[in-house]
Structure formats: C-alpha cells, structure tokens
Amino acid sequence: MESVSLLITLLCAEFLGRVWLEIREVRLTMSRGGVFALLRVIPLVNDIVPLPENRREPSETEFVKKHEEAHKVMHHGILRNIAKLILALIAIWFLAAQLIRVGMPLWQGILWLHVVAIPFRVLFHLYCWNQEYEADAYAHKELGKQKTKVAMRELAECEIPYTHFFALMYREHPTAALRSKRLLNKVIKK
Ligand SMILES: [Zn+2]
C-alpha cells in the first residue's frame, strides 16, 4: 500500500513538473502550447507523443552529408541501437522483478517503470547529443569554419525553437544553438 501512495506522489510530481516545463517553454520561446503540449503532461502518454523538430527539413548541404558520413564512420546507429537494447533489457528485468518478486499488479509495474525510466531517458538523450556533436565536429574539420557557419544558420532557420532544458527532456538532437555554441563558440541565429 505504501508503494502505491509513493507511486501516486511521484506521478503527481511528474505531472506538475511537466506542466511547469510547458509553461516555461511557452514563455521563453514565444511558441503556442497546442495539443501535443497537453498530451506531454499526461504520464505514459508522454512516452509516445512525437515531438516535431523542424519546420522544414534542412537542405542537403555538404555539411549535412559530411555529418551523416560521420555517423556511418563512427558506427553511431549501431551503438545507439545497442544502448536502446540495453535499456530495454533493464526495463524488462525491472518490470519482471516488480511483478514476480514483489507481486505487484501489472498496471502498477508499468507506472513504476514509466517513472523510473525518466532519468534514463535523459541520459540516453545526452548520449545521442554526444554523437551529434561528434558528427558535427567531423564535418566542421572536413569543411572549415565558413561552411559550418552557413550550415548552422540554415539549421537554426529550419528548427522549431526549444529551450535547452526542454530539449534535454524530449529530444534526441541538441538544439541548433547548442550545436553552434559547441562548434564555433557562439550561437548562430537565423
Ligand atoms: Zn546527426
């Protein structure tokens, strides 16, 4: 019974935290909330709500091609899938332990998994971000500063603006601002 009240407390905290995050996002980026924002504050539903990242796809510049080449050369796709697989195995183990050893009902086990997975999700995003920075650095090294600048501006134009914190919670890509800061030591605006 104790574990149920703790679970409910955590879910309420999650809900309030996400509402705060959405309000902060609207204020800082001047964007409208929309129906996705409503879905994102609901536990479990927010695990599957898609997050649109771009207004339009960035064009296939040399930088984009080199960036994609870097992902291939560095086996990022495979590594990312291995990371996903490891996380999925931990999740299955965790759920099985709750159901079999603790004797928890399925719905509770799933909700616990949802809550416990939140920090792991953030860590996974950081892992993906690191891959993106690596691919950017590779393209930058191959093409030089000027082309990188143009590519970062293009990226900033295409991207739907999100704050760093919001991106950390929801996105597998760092924001254009973070990427240009990392590469060129300054934020390239559109
Ligand atoms: Zn990439």
Residue-wise pLDDT for 1-21, tens only, equals 588 999 999 999 999 999 999
Rounded to the nearest integer, the mean pLDDT of the chain is 94
Q: 44: phi > 0 → left, psi -120 to 50 → alpha, else beta; which?
A: left
Alpha carbon of 71 to ligand 1 centroid (Å): 7
Alpha carbon of 12 to ligand 1 centroid (Å): 35
Alpha carbon of 102 to ligand 1 centroid (Å): 41
Which residue, among 42, 40, 67, 63, has the nearest Cα to 52 in the 3D structure?
40
Instruction: Tell me which residue has tokens 């000027």.
Output: 146
Alpha carbon of 190 to ligand 1 centroid (Å): 20
Cβ pair 162, 54 in contact under 8 A: no
| Helix, strand, or coil (residue 159) | strand
Residue-wise pLDDT for 108-150, tens only, equals 999 999 999 999 999 999 999 999 999 999 999 999 999 999 9
Alpha carbon of 68 to ligand 1 centroid (Å): 6
Cβ pair 22, 39 in contact under 8 A: no
**Where along the chain do its domains lie?**
2-51+62-184
